[in-house]
Amino acid sequence: MFNNNIQRATIVSCLSVLALLGCSEKTHTINATQHQAITIKVDGPETSEQAKLNPFTDYRVVAEITQGNNTYQIRGYYAADGTAQESSATQGNQWHIKFRPQFAGEWQYKVHFDTGSNIALSQNLNEGQPTEFDGQQGKIHVAANNDIEHDILTVKNGYFYYKNLNKGILKVGANSPENLLGYVDFDGTYRVAADTKDIGKASTKNLHKYNEHAQDWQQGDPSWQQGKGKNLIGAVNYLANKGMNAIYFVTMNIGGDGKDVWPYVDHNTLDRFDVSKLAQWEQVFQHMEDKNMIMHFILQETENELLLDKGDTGPKRKLYLNEMIARFAHHAGIIWNVGEENGPVHFSPEGQTPEQAMAMASYIKNIDPYQQPVFIHTHASWKHKEETLPKFMGFKDFDGLSLQVDQPKTVTKHITRWQEKAKEAGHPLAITMDEIGLWHTGALPDSEDPNHDIMRQQVMWPSFMLNSAGVEWYFGYKYAHNDLNAEDWRSRDLLWDQTFIAKQFFTDNNIFDLTTRCVNQEGIYCLTNRDKSSAIIYTDNIENESLGNLSISGEYKARWFNPKSGQIHESSALVSIAGGKLINLQQPPKSEQSDWALVLNK
């Protein structure tokens, strides 16, 4: 189990300690635990973020880590003084390599430390000139650990699964604020410019503070530099305590809506990275992992798709992706998303072509040692999807589609369309609903819509009944705590409650095995398993719909489930299904909402 007490092994220099025991230079031993990341620390040349010989492009540190037939090439990164999250250091001689061992037992490793012009862009370990720091090697003793709750993700049968647990998981959580990392307590973070003319842009230069979540930080939680970061850490705690397990955030919005998030030393320098800022991001990401959160990395915004190499996967884009994966890919629960609202559209007419997006996805797959899922986020309209998504069908380096839909009532049509297209192409995709509603509306605050009937009845429950893999809630610009200025996730407290009810219901009823649809009637959804021994029926209006035309039969134990409150009402008699019709079904009790779910088990 992951928690704040996890001990992370680090390398101890042979010269500083083990030499006293008679070991040879550059030989190291690490004691580690299966499924928990370790840091291999490598002494290197004294340099800095702004050094003439660029440490991000002209040095390359890679560890070859081997156990039997399992070999990983894990890229390292420049870490300044090694504790930049606390010191804000911009210089030093430390490089770090993060490794997450998937298997117990003994591993061997060797570090390649090379230099050369743009050597960081090369994957060929035979290229480059070895430095005097080349050759550190040793063993990693990995103790077995079967007590885990959160793991690396994979996609199977349209759902997320924990790779080493073979356990399905529904992704639910926050899609806003997209500029979560535009946070005042991160080094080197600022807004380039405010825009008071466009309601969809940041209107002030104020960064996020998340003051309302100070109350949610707990003793023992991480912070940095004498208390910085507590509010954002508290915000993560709040979402986790509400039963959510996913957070969506952009890692580069230069030229985008917020203009306040990037990994670089500034918004104009695209080949040098802010080491202390990224070390502070890592503090937050580690806490997200400790809270079993899925981290939905949105790697670019629609407005800056052409910022790096004009959309191609060239030197700048490779450098950016190398850094993101070297620094963060060791975490459990990562989704790499090629970009928000990918592709050209009327409000952002210059964007990546499908071919460029696919090349970016393939590069991520090529360099991520853990092969976490790669998704792409769409534009809202049916028309744009029809123009761009067909080229992605059958493309094996995309694991799923992150759908944006502007009209909640059309969600089911979008899901069905692209599930069928992907299946026809021979490569089924996971479908997640990750920005629902018009740009100015989205999921309303509780103060405007305490019932959230539209999002529950038209989006969340129908989506899960169509085997979608998750939903994240987007906050529209015309309402408080919107997609750029949200400071308090409590603004949707009641929505999180309903979302948790849905997640728990479908997980408890093993939605991952209910893959056969057993009704064809608008407003009614039915899923059953292979032997038709279990089924779920959902209707958005119990008063007006007859639960007929079912393709299951026999006698079932029945219970009604209230999707809004989570209350269960058992039926006292067996229910029979014959000729597609339910017989002897007791109706659910009267309630203020019209939608109900019926659970059937033989």
Residue 20 — very low, low, confident or very high, per pLDDT cuts 50/70/90?
A: very low
Asked if 49 and 91 touch (Cβ cutoff 8 Å), the reply is yes
Number of domains in the chain: 3
Q: Once rounded to an integer, what is the mean pLDDT over residues 303-330?
A: 98
> Which CATH number fits the domain that encloses residue 317?
3.20.20.80
pLDDT of residue 27: 78
pLDDT tens per residue, range 379-409: 999 999 999 999 999 999 999 999 999 999 9
Does residue 233 carry a pLDDT above 80? yes
Residues 230, 216 contacting (CB under 8 angstroms): no
Q: Hey, what are 188's tokens?
A: 């080197």
Question: Which of the 8 DSSP states describes residue 3?
Answer: -
Paired with 521 in beta bridges are 524
CA distance 354 to 370: 25
pLDDT at position 544 is 63
pLDDT of res. 17: 35
pLDDT confidence of residue 126: 96
| 544 within some domain | yes
83, 113, 143 - which closes a domain = 143
- Of 144-153, 276-285, 523-532, 574-583, the least confident: 574-583
- Considering 114, 143, 172, which residue would you say is the last residue of a domain? 143
What pLDDT does residue 25 have?
A: 52
Region of residue 238 (phi > 0: left; psi between -120 and 50: alpha; otherwise: beta): alpha
Pick from 513, 530, 546: which residue ends a domain?
513
Cα 19 to chain centroid, rounded: 43
Separation CA 109–CA 356 (nearest Å): 35
Taking all residues of the chain, what is their mean pLDDT, rounded to a whole number?
93
How confident is the model at residue 523, as a pLDDT?
86
CA distances for 156 relative to 6, 125, 393, 483, 513, angstroms: 29, 33, 16, 31, 12
The domain in which residue 539 lies consists of: 516-601
Please give the pLDDT value at position 545.
60
8 located within any domain = no
Task: Read off the tokens for 166.
Answer: 């073979």
pLDDT digits (tens, 9 = 90+) for 41-86: 999 999 999 999 999 999 999 999 999 999 999 999 999 999 999 9
Query: What pLDDT digit, counting tens, does each position of 161-207 carry?
Result: 999 998 999 999 999 999 999 999 999 999 999 888 888 888 899 99
The tens digit of pLDDT for each residue in 429-468 reads 999 999 999 999 999 999 999 999 999 999 999 999 999 9
412: DSSP letter: H
Q: What is the DSSP string of 159-181?
A: EEEETTTTEEE-EEEE---TTTT
| CATH for 129 | 2.60.40.10
List alpha helices for 28-161, DSSP H: 84-87
Q: How far is CA 300 from the centre of its chain?
A: 14
9, part of any domain: no
Tokens of 228: 């910085």
Burial string for 292-304 (b: 16+ CB within 10 Å, else e) reads: bbbbbbbbbbbbb
Decide if 415 is inside a domain: yes
587 shares a domain with 487: no
**Residues forming beta bridges with residue 66, ordered by sequence position:** 71, 108
153-156, strands of its sheet edge to edge: 153-156, 159-162, 167-169
| 3 domain residue, yes or no | no
Asked whether residue 407 falls in the same domain as residue 363, the answer is: yes
Strands 575-578 and 581-583: antiparallel
pLDDT > 90? residue 98: yes
